Amino acid sequence: MDLKNGSVVTEFILLGFSGQREFHIFFFVTFLLIYSATVWGNILIMVTVKFSSTLHSPMYFLLGNLSFLDMCLSTVTTPKMITDLLSEHKTISVWGCMTQMFFMHLFGGAEMTLLIAMAFDRYVAICKPLHYRTIMSHRLLSGFMILSWTIGFVHTMSQMVLTVNLPFCGPNVIDNIFCDLPLVIQLACMDTYTMEFFVIADSGLLSLICFILLLVSYTVILITVQQRSSGGLTKALSTLSAHIIVVTLFFGPCIFIYAWPFNSFAGNKVLAVFYTIITPLLNPVIYTLRNQKMQGAMRKLWFQHVISTQKF
């Protein structure tokens, strides 16, 4: 290991966005509004699913958990990124950086598994409607949740166990808006080829394989529906379109960031913004604006709240 002048890095510098301060103020206001909408939108979904009796079904149970993961994923990086937009010194400690990466991959890995569970839920609901309640039992849903968090934990630990032991003794500048494995690994004072290959195999292939499995599952659903009834294809497309949009917009940036060689897309700040800020907002937007049942449940809960308030 070649230590430069015996120095040891204790913090990283996040370059963030370049440009004039006016642009930083614009980004600050824009991202603050998006983050606020993400948090309150996902909280609204979780509260509605929890307290609305009409939404006590497997689909909305999974949707509520997806909202929780989206909110957590955004919270790991966005508040720090927003405050850095108005700060002259955009630094983060080494352990703060490690913590950020740990939770990013924990929530990201859990969400990948949860999206597969949601695809299975839609398959059963559309292709086996008479057996839906029997198959999608509380026991299976609990199993999905345990599996989701287990895969997320194993996924992040398998990478972080190696990353926390890397020596950082030279460059400490990360050309991005948050810490992430590809760029942090490149700053280590050692040959990281094997580590880079492992991250591509772990995060990149996991994202790509999950995405392909989801596309195959949705294709099977559409083919099954088309064979049974031509009229049911339109209804199935309407039901699945929201899921397909969420899946594509979630996995797209992940695949570009992790499945390609590190120097290609790892430092792309547009993908980073899309993955951590835009995508978590899409869940409440898509599932509320397109879902009449969800909208009806929200209005009903609001009316109940107003009436109970007036009584006091």
Structure tokens at 211: 């995405």
pLDDT for res 235: 66
pLDDT confidence tier of residue 6, bands split at 50, 70 and 90: very low
Please state, in angstroms and as integers, the Cα–Cα distance from residue 245 to each residue in 115, 186, 242, 248, following that order: 12, 33, 5, 5
pLDDT confidence tier of residue 312, bands split at 50, 70 and 90: low
Terminal Cα distance for the chain, rounded: 70
Residue with tokens 């949707």: 63
pLDDT for res 275: 77
* H or E element in which residue 14 lies: strand 11-14
Q: Which pLDDT tens digit goes with each residue over 239-254? A: 677 777 778 877 877 7
Q: Which pLDDT tens digit goes with each residue over 278-293? A: 888 887 787 776 777 8
pLDDT for res 306: 73
Q: Which domains does the chain have, with CATH numbers?
A: 11-307 (1.20.1070.10)
| Strands 91-93 and 11-14, sheet pairing | antiparallel
Span 19-47, mean pLDDT? 88
Of 297, 305, 304, 290, the closest CA to residue 50 belongs to 297
Structure tokens at 112: 């990948």
| Strands 173-174 and 11-14, sheet pairing | parallel
pLDDT at 267 over 70: no
Q: Which pLDDT tens digit goes with each residue over 94-115? A: 999 999 999 999 999 999 899 8
